[in-house]
A and B are shown apart, each in its own frame.
Chain A
Amino acid sequence: MRWPLTAAALLAALALQTALTLVLPRESRLFDPFLLVVVYCGLAFGETHGMLSGAAAGWIQDLQFGGAVSGLQALTKLLVGFVVGAVATRFLIAAAITRFLVVFAATLLDALVFQRFALVFDVATSDVAATGLVARATLNALLGSLLFQAVDARLRREARP
Chain B
Amino acid sequence: MLAALVISHLVIVSHQVDAGGGNSLLERSAFRLFAPVQRSVAAVLRSVEAAWSGYVGLRGVRHENARLLARARALELELEQTRSLAEEAGRLRELLALKAALPFETLPAEVLSRDGVPWFRGITIDKGDVDGVRLQAPVISPSGVVGRVVKLGGRAARVQLLLDRDAGIGALIERTRVTGVCAGQVGFEDQGTTDLVMRYVPALAEVAVGDRVLSSGLDRIYPKGLVVGRVRAVGPPSGLFREVIVTPTARFDQLEQVLVMRLPSENLTLTESVR
A17 to B37, CA, bound (A): 11
In the complex, A64 Cα to B41 Cα: how many Å? Answer: 13
B21 at the interface (CB under 8 A from A): yes
- Asked whether B113 lies within 8 Å of A64 as measured between CB atoms, the reply is yes
Distance of A17 Cα from B41 Cα, bound (Å): 10
The chain A residue sitting closest to B186, CB to CB, is: A126
**Within 8 Å CB of B122, what residues of A?**
65-67
Chain A 132-156 interface 0/1 with B at a Cβ cutoff of 8 Å (1 = within)? 1100100000000000000000000
CB within 8 A of A121: which of B17, B34, B117, B186?
B17
Residues in A with CB closer than 8 Å to B1 are 48, 51
Within 8 A of B (CB), among A76-130: 78-79, 82, 114, 117-118, 121-129
Task: Please give the distance in Å from B103's CB to the nearest CB on chain A.
Answer: 28
Q: Using Cβ atoms and an 8 Å threshold, which residues of chain B touch A63?
A: 27, 30-31, 34, 151, 158
Residue of chain B at shortest CB distance from A133: B188
Check if A75 sits within 8 Å of B9, measured CB to CB.
yes
Binds A, one of B58-66, B125-133, B159-167, B267-275: B159-167
Q: B13 near A66 (CB under 8 angstroms)?
A: no
Do A128 and B37 touch across chains, with their CB atoms under 8 A apart?
no
A126/B119 in contact, CB under 8 A: yes
Q: Is B92 an interface residue (CB 8 A)?
A: no
> A68: which B residues are within 8 A, CB to CB?
21, 150-151, 160, 166
User: Which residues in window 7-50 of A have CB below 8 A to B?
Assistant: 11, 14-15, 17-23, 25-26, 28-30, 32, 47-48
Which residue of A19, A51, A82, A114 is within 8 Å of B119 (Cβ)? A114
Which residues in B have their C-beta under 8 angstroms from that of A125?
Answer: 119-120, 165-166
Q: Is B10 an interface residue (CB 8 A)?
A: yes
CA distance A76 to B70 in the complex (A): 54
The smallest C-beta distance from B114 to any residue of chain A, in angstroms, reads 4
Partner of B41 from the list A18, A122, A126, A128 (CB cut-off 8 Å) is A18
B45 on interface, CB distance cutoff 8 Å = yes
Tell yes or no: B38 within 8 A of A by CB. Answer: yes
Q: Taking the complex as formed, is A70 at the interface, i.e. its CB lies under 8 A from any CB of chain B?
A: yes
CB atoms of A29 and B188 under 8 A apart? yes
Docked CA distance A40–B136 (Å): 37
* B189 and A19 contact, CB distance less than 8 A: no
Please indicate the chain A residues that have their CB under 8 angstroms from the CB of B17 in the complex.
Answer: 69, 121-123
Which one of A51, A59, A72, A132 lies within 8 Å of B188 (CB-CB)?
A132
For chain B, the bracket of interface size reads 35 or more
Docked complex Cα distance between A32 and B244 (Å): 35
Query: Given the complex, which residues of B lie within 8 Å of A32, measured CB to CB?
Result: 117
Pairwise interchain contact A51-B5, C-beta atoms closer than 8 A:
yes
Does B176 sit at the interface, judged by CB under 8 A? Answer: no
Q: What are the residues of chain A within 8 A of B119 when measuring CB–CB?
A: 67, 114, 118, 125-126
B34: which A residues are within 8 A, CB to CB?
14, 60, 63-64
Would you list which residues of chain B between 4 and 30 have a CB under 8 Å from chain A?
A: 5-6, 9-10, 12-14, 16-17, 21, 27, 30
B106 located at the interface, meaning its Cβ lies under 8 Å from any Cβ of chain A in the complex:
no
Q: How many angstroms between the C-alpha atoms of A127 and B189 in the bound complex?
A: 9
Roughly how many angstroms separate A69 CA and B160 CA in the complex, as a whole number?
11
A33 CA to B71 CA in the complex, in Å? Answer: 42
Interface centre among A68, A73, A74 (most CB of B within 10 A): A68
Q: In the complex, which of the residues B12, B121, B124 contacts A126, with contact meaning CB atoms closer than 8 Å? A: B121
- The residue that B13 contacts in the complex, of A75, A124, A136, with Cβ under 8 A, is A75
Question: Min CB distance, A135 to chain B, in Å?
Answer: 9
* Pairs across A and B, CB under 8 Å, 25 listed: A17-B116, A20-B116, A21-B114, A29-B117, A48-B1, A51-B1, A55-B9, A63-B27, A64-B35, A64-B116, A66-B120, A67-B119, A68-B151, A69-B16, A69-B17, A73-B117, A121-B13, A121-B17, A122-B17, A124-B164, A126-B119, A126-B186, A128-B188, A132-B118, A133-B188
Chain A interface residues (CB < 8 Å from chain B): 11, 14-15, 17-23, 25-26, 28-30, 32, 47-48, 51-52, 55, 59-61, 63-75, 78-79, 82, 114, 117-118, 121-129, 132-133, 136
